[in-house]
Structure 1
C-alpha cells in the first residue's frame, strides 16, 4: 500500500505537482479495490490465478493497470526523491512521458470501469483504509473505503477526479458560486516562468504534457476554452515557426465582426460605449446655441454606438433639425471601403429618424492632421471619441516615434470640447512576460465566464476574438504585438501629460448603470473610481470609461 507523505520539503512543491501525486495515489488505490475475490495487489496476480467468473472488461481493466505499473512506480520514486532532497534547486519537477503514461492508464481504467454493466458486487473489507502520514506529528489518519453495492454505486471516478464534489453545471448560480481553479493554470504559469528564464525546452515539455491531458476535470466550458487558448499562445511563443502567432488576423474583417459580437453581448463593453455617448451629449448640451455636433472617431469600433447617438439626438431636437457630423480616419484596422459602408448604413438610419448626418472618411498621417483637414467649423461642438483605440497604438516602449503620445498631442491642438476614452483594464503593455501571462489568463478568464453566465454559452465569434487577442498579447513582441492594454491609472497619467483635464462622469451615472444591471445581469459591477466609471464582473474591472477636456 502506498504511503503518501507530506514533508516540509514537499510542502514547497507547486499545487499541480501535488495534484499529479494524488492522481498516482488514486491509481494505486483504485487498483486495489477493483481486484475481485482477492486481497492481493494486482501486480501479484498471474493470469492463471484470475477467478473464473471474472468478466472480460474487468480483465482488460486489470491488464491496463498492470501496464501503468512501471511508470507509476517511477513517478512515485521521483516525487519521493524530490520531497526528501535537502537542497532544493528551485527547478520544476517534471517527467512528462511518465505523467502521460500514468494518467493515460488511469483514464482508460475509469473508462473501462464505467462501461462495465455487470451486477457483480465488489466486496470491500469494512476495515480497509488508506493511510496518510502527516509530518506535523506522528498521528496517522485512517479513512475507510466506501462500500460499493449494486444499489449504491459510488462514483469512484468522480471522487478521484474532483474530490467527490458534483460537477458544476453551467447555470448562473453555479458560475457565480464557483472559484477559478488553480489547475491547470499553475503549470501554465510555470511554463511562462520557464520562457522568461530562457528555458524553452522545459516550457515545451510542460506544454506538450498539458496538451495530452483531457480537460474533463475543468469546471466550466469557458475555463476549458481559456486553457486551450493559453496553451496555443504559449506554444506560439516557444515555437513561432510551427505555431505562427496572429498578427495579420487582427486587421481582417473577420476580427472586426468578432469584436462586434463581443460588444453586443458583454455589458462591460456595451455600457462603455453608452458612457461615451453620455459624455458626448453632455458636451453638446453645454453649448445649446449650436445645433451641429461634430464627432471625430478613429476607426468607429462599434457602429451601434452611433445608432444610439442618432436616436438620442432625434429625441432631443425641437423645431430645428439636429446635424451630426462624423469624421473618421481610415487606417490598417479600418479600411476606407469598410468605413464608407458604415456611413451609408448610418445615413439611411439618420434619414429615417429625421436627423441630418454628414459622414466623412479621411486617410492621413497623424502628423498631418489639422482642423482644416478634418473640416472643423466655427461654432460647432467638437468632440473626439477614443473607444478602444489607444491600446493598439505603439508607445515609447516600442518605437521612438511614439504614435500614442503623438496622437494625444495632436488632439489637444484641435481644442475639442470633450475627449471620450474607453479601454480594457489590463496591465498588458510593459509588464514582464510572466506578469503579462497571468494578467491575460485572469482577464480573459473573467470575461469568458461573464459571457457564459449571461447566455449559457460563448459564441464562436467571441471565442475567436479572445483567442486572437490573447495569442498576440502573449506570443508577440515589438511592433508585431498589437495588444498593449493599460490600466486606467496609466491612461490617466498619459492624458494629463498631454495637457488634458479629467471631467468626471459623476456618481449618478454609475448609479444609473448599476440599477440597470441589478435585476437583469447580477454579478456585473459598476463603480465610479478616480473619475472613471468601471464596469466589471464579480469584482474584477474589465473596462473603464472616462471623459477629458
Structure 2
C-alpha cells in the first residue's frame, strides 16, 4: 500500500506506528513467520495504551484479533453476528447508518409512486427488518396518495438465530397494527444461493402495483459467490421492479491482496469508530457489529468472506453492465429528515444521482436508486393473481432440527483442537480471547442471556495476593452484551479484581461451576463500589452462574485459568 494513499492525520499520530506494525504483522502471517508476527503483536500491545483515542485503541485491538484468527483459522460459528434480542435495529446497526438507509428508502418510494398506483410491494433485503420502519412510511404514503389500497412487504433476511423472536414479533405487530391493508411475509437466506432462490419465487401481482426492491447493507454479500450478483440482478429485471434502492458502506474493502485490504479497512473503520464517540444509539452493540465485520474482512477468504464492501464507482459499473441506470436524487430532501441525527455527519449529493453520508468529509455510506434500462414487456403472464410467495411456516421460521445444529456449533467451538504456535505467547493469548468471545457470544444468544463476562488468571503463582489466593480480572475482549443496559456495567466492573473463592466467578475457580440462585444474597464486598448505579442494577437480576473452562477446551495456554460468568 502506498503511503500517499494514507490519511495524513493517521501519518502524524501514534496510530500510524500501530498501523505500520499491523501491516507488518499481516505480511509476517502471510509468509508463515509466526514468531515475527508474535513479536510485532507484543509491540502493538505495549504501544496501544499510549494512543490517546480509546476508539483507535479498540480498532487496533480488533484488527490484531482478526490477524490472529486468520493465522490460526479461528472462525466464528456464524458468518453474521446474531442480533441482540432486546434491541431496535438502530441500536445494533450504528444509528446514522440505519437512519440514512431508512430515509433514503422513504424518499425513493415516495418519488416513484404516482396516482395510478393502487398497490405497493416492497421486497426488503435488510440485515434486520423493523415493522415500525415500514408502518410509519406507509402512513406517510397513505396521506400523500389516498388511493393506495394495499401494501405487501416481503422481507428476505438472514437467519440470525432460531432463538430470536424478531421475525415472529414483526409478523404479530403487522397483524395487530398493520390493518387489513398491510401484509408482511418473510423469507430467510443463509447464502447467495438462497437469495437467488427466494427472489425467483416472487411475481408482480397486478398492473397497478409498484414493486420496490430495497437493499440495506446486504447486496455486497452476493460478491462472495461467483455469478450470484449477476443472477440476482437478472431476477430483479425479470421481476420488472420499478425501482431498486441500494444503500452500502462506501469503501473498497474487497481487494484480493491482504495488505491492500488491511490498509484500506483500517482507515475506514478508524473513521467509523471515531464517529462512535458521538454515541448515537448504543455504542456497545455497534462495536459487536463492526468487530465482526473487521474479523470477516481480514480473517476470511473464499465464500466465508461475505463482507465484500466496494465503492459506489465499482457498483455503478456493475449495475450499468447489468442493465440498470441511476435515478436522480436530491440531497436537500434528506438533510431536513436527518438533521436531528447528523450533527457532525455530512450529507451531500454526488453526480446528481447518489447521496453520500460522511464523517468530517470522510465517506461512510452511499445511497442510490436504480431502474431497469429496458423494462420487460408487461405481458405473457407476468401479472398473476396468485399469491406472491407460499405463506407456509417454513418461509419465516427455522426448522426444528436447528436446535441440534446450534448446540453442535457450540461443541465445535469448545472442542476445536487446532494446533497453535508453541512460540507465540502474544498470539496465543489473543487467540484464546477470540475463542472465549465466540463461546460467550454464542451462549448468550442460544440461551437468551443478557450478558457474559470472562474472568482470567494467568499462572498459579505469578498472579496471587498476599494470602496466596489467585486473582481474577475481566478480559474485556471476551465479554458479550446482549442488553445495552449492561454495557456500562461491563466497563465499570472491568476495573475490579476478584479474589479466588469470592463472588460467583471466584467460587467457580475453585469448584469449576457455581450457581447463584439469588444475586441479592451476595456479600456486598463482592461489588467494590456498591453505590454505583451500574452495580446496583446488576444486583436486581435474579440469578447468575459461572463455569471454569478446563484444559480440555484446549485454549493452548497452560497457565491460563478462565471463568465464564
Q: Do these two structures clear the TM 0.5 threshold for a shared fold by scoring above it?
A: yes
Deviation at 1:480, TM superposition (A): 1.3
Map residues 302-317 of structure 1 onto 2, 5 A cutoff.
Answer: 302-303=129-130, 305-317=133-145
Alignment match of 1:248 (pick from 78, 86, 93): 78
Q: What residue in structure 1 maps to residue 171 of structure 2?
A: 343
Q: Any idea what SS the aligned residue of 1:216 has?
A: helix
Question: Number of matched residues?
Answer: 355
Q: What residue in structure 2 maps to residue 98 of structure 1?
A: none
Distance in 1 of aligned mates of 2:310 and 2:101: 16
Q: What residue in structure 2 maps to residue 535 of structure 1?
A: 357
Deviation at 1:197, TM superposition (A): 4.3
Map residues 296-335 of structure 1 onto 2, 5 A cutoff.
Answer: 296-299=123-126, 301-303=128-130, 305-318=133-146, 320=147, 322-329=149-156, 331-333=158-160
Which structure has the bigger radius of gyration?
1
Deviation at 1:418, TM superposition (A): 0.3
The structure richer in strand per residue is 2
Map residues 246-395 of structure 1 onto 2, 5 A cutoff.
Answer: 246=76, 248=78, 250=80, 252-254=82-84, 260-263=90-93, 265-284=94-113, 287-299=114-126, 301-303=128-130, 305-318=133-146, 320=147, 322-329=149-156, 331-333=158-160, 338-351=166-179, 356-362=181-187, 365-368=194-197, 373-374=202-203, 376-395=205-224
Query: Could you list the per-position Cα deviations for residues 247-280 of structure 1 after superposition, in whole angstroms to 9, with x for gaps in the alignment?
Result: 51515343996964244x5324311221122111
Q: What residue in structure 2 maps to residue 441 of structure 1?
A: 266
Distance in 1 of aligned mates of 2:42 and 2:177: 52
Deviation at 1:216, TM superposition (A): 3.1
Q: Kindly report structure 1 stretches of 4+ aligned residues shifted beyond 6 Å.
A: 334-337
Q: 1:332 to 1:498 in 2, by over 3 A?
A: farther
Distance in 1 of aligned mates of 2:337 and 2:122: 27
Q: Any idea what SS the aligned residue of 1:215 has?
A: helix
Alignment match of 1:524 (pick from 345, 350, 353): 345
Q: Any idea what SS the aligned residue of 1:184 has?
A: helix
Distance in 1 of aligned mates of 2:169 and 2:81: 17
Q: 1:403 to 1:545 in 2, by over 3 A?
A: same
Query: Is it true that 1:186 corresponds to 2:20 in the alignment?
Result: yes
Contact 1:204–1:238 at 8 Å: present in 2 too? no
Q: 1:472 to 1:198 in 2, by over 3 A?
A: same
Query: Is it true that 1:503 corresponds to 2:327 in the alignment?
Result: yes
Q: What residue in structure 2 maps to residue 215 of structure 1?
A: 48
Q: What residue in structure 1 maps to residue 66 of structure 2?
A: 233
Q: 1:214 to 1:256 in 2, by over 3 A?
A: farther
Distance in 1 of aligned mates of 2:145 and 2:326: 28
Contact 1:215–1:224 at 8 Å: present in 2 too? yes
Distance in 1 of aligned mates of 2:35 and 2:111: 56
Larger mean CA deviation between 535-544 and 244-253 belongs to 244-253
Report the TM-score when normalising by structure 2: 0.57
Structure 1 gap segments, 5+ residues each: 1-13, 15-174
Distance in 1 of aligned mates of 2:284 and 2:140: 32
Distance in 1 of aligned mates of 2:118 and 2:262: 48
Query: Is it true that 1:476 corresponds to 2:297 in the alignment?
Result: no
Deviation at 1:226, TM superposition (A): 1.2
Alignment match of 1:546 (pick from 350, 362, 368): 368
Q: What residue in structure 1 maps to residue 231 of structure 2?
A: 406
Q: Any idea what SS the aligned residue of 2:274 has?
A: helix
Distance in 2 of aligned mates of 1:485 and 1:317: 36
Contact 1:532–1:544 at 8 Å: present in 2 too? yes
Q: 1:315 to 1:254 in 2, by over 3 A?
A: same
Deviation at 1:344, TM superposition (A): 2.2
Distance in 2 of aligned mates of 1:255 and 1:478: 30
Distance in 2 of aligned mates of 1:442 and 1:266: 20
Report the TM-score when normalising by structure 1: 0.58
Distance in 2 of aligned mates of 1:426 and 1:440: 8
Deviation at 1:210, TM superposition (A): 2.1
Distance in 1 of aligned mates of 2:297 and 2:86: 17
Contact 2:250–2:312 at 8 Å: present in 1 too? yes
Distance in 2 of aligned mates of 1:271 and 1:282: 17
